[in-house]
Structure 1
């Protein structure tokens, strides 16, 4: 039976490396709990590392951005596209509207279909957020809501101008038409008196009455 005895320096190095890898893996597990669906990404237990496990310690673009955000899921980190695949980190992790907050709102819109925001070859199905109205919903804030007083609108009373009534002068009455006087009736013609019969010639001159002459 052969026994292989490892020298002390080599044993120390091996133990140190094992501890280092274990420490990295443990740290990675603690970090994913600070991300929406961080532990539910298929094929990657440590989404911030290039190997997906965190054993080698190398980080990808998402891991670097996460570190710059002080290992906190911020709106800026959520809206960024760390791996440049055309989808935001929030869309890939089920938080398209960037509303997830670990302590106050640990709610995601979906868990099935998430993808690795640090791997450009992995993307999510756009239909997952196609009908999500993020524009009408703002991300939650940890600061106290500000109270905005409604603007006071002062309306001046409307001034009514007096109505100007113009009275037309009464129509001028035309004087009545002057009636012409009746035509003057021409008086009847004066009847001439009957002509006087002259006595027969000779008798009167001799003084004989006309009656005697007839006898």
Structure 2
């Protein structure tokens, strides 16, 4: 496994947590807008909301994310990321992490640079999910795939819970049909303002 493959995977994890940083291009939009109220439930964005994650199951590796401010429709977090919910879905500066309608088999593509295209698919919707923060209902699981080179594809699996946000992120590298675990994050606690999500 090349170091660049691992770093690339962590970059997508960072984007999923809202740490993606700025980009000059917007995600391509190719269909009619959907109702954003339900989509927004899957990542409640409001100043003061926060999430804590355990990295790779190790108690000494934690990531804390807090929404610090809202500017130009984007919510800026403590890790330098920017997220928003629009009529198509939940997105950062470069990509949609979740797009409607929220149903298994739903696919979309994000062109994040001249040489990088990410392909997303909703694997499951309306299922329960679990983390150290609890058991949640009506969750949605999204898989994002990005080909790194001729032999390696990075696979990012995101699990969202309504009224909570991201519950789990798993990154794997796929080579020769085999998935090799890279890293994962699991929600341990969260604080969401009442009425959000």
TM bracket, shorter-chain basis: under 0.3
Structure number with greater Rg is 1
Q: Which has the higher contact order (CA 8 A, sep 6+)?
A: 2
Give the structure with the higher percent strand. Answer: 2
Give the structure with the higher percent helix. Answer: 1
